[in-house]
């Protein structure tokens, strides 16, 4: 899985020392999440995340939702993803 790839992951958001957030994946393993204040409301809840891989086990979250909910229609993750790829020199 190269850097800059988009992933959809289901798991539970956890906070570790130093206010780092992780998602414990339901199938096993974990991803460290790029810092964001919005994760606090999802702590210890099952969620689905779409994010871009930015490191070995690190994701920058594009969008997040509680399991069982629909994705919010107002967000354009493809536009965000394309901006991220351009900003980081990742051309397709």
Domain boundaries, given as residue ranges, for the chain: 6-87
Average pLDDT on 36-45 reads 88
Q: Is the pLDDT of residue 76 over 70?
A: no
**pLDDT single digits (tens) 9-40:** 999 999 988 878 999 998 899 999 988 888 88
In what helix (H) or strand (E) does residue 1 lie, and over which residues does it extend? none
What is the reported pLDDT for 46?
95
Q: Which fold has domain 6-87?
A: OB fold (Dihydrolipoamide Acetyltransferase, E2P) (2.40.50)
What is the reported pLDDT for 16?
86
* pTM, entire model: 0.72
User: Which residue in this structure is represented by tokens 């998602």?
Assistant: 23
Average pLDDT on 44-66 reads 92
CA distance 78 to 11: 22
Question: Which one, of 3, 41, 5, 39, lies nearest residue 23 by Cα?
Answer: 39
């Amino acid at each position: 899985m190269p850097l800059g790839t988009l992933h959809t992951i289901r798991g539970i958001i956890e906070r570790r020392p130093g206010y780092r957030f992780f998602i414990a994946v339901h199938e096993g393993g974990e991803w460290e999440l790029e810092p964001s204040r919005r994760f606090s409301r999802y702590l210890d809840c099952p969620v689905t995340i779409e994010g871009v891989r930015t490191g070995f086990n690190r994701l920058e979250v594009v969008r997040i939702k509680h399991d069982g909910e629909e994705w919010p229609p107002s967000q354009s993750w493809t536009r965000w993803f394309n901006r991220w790829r351009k900003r980081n020199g990742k051309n397709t």
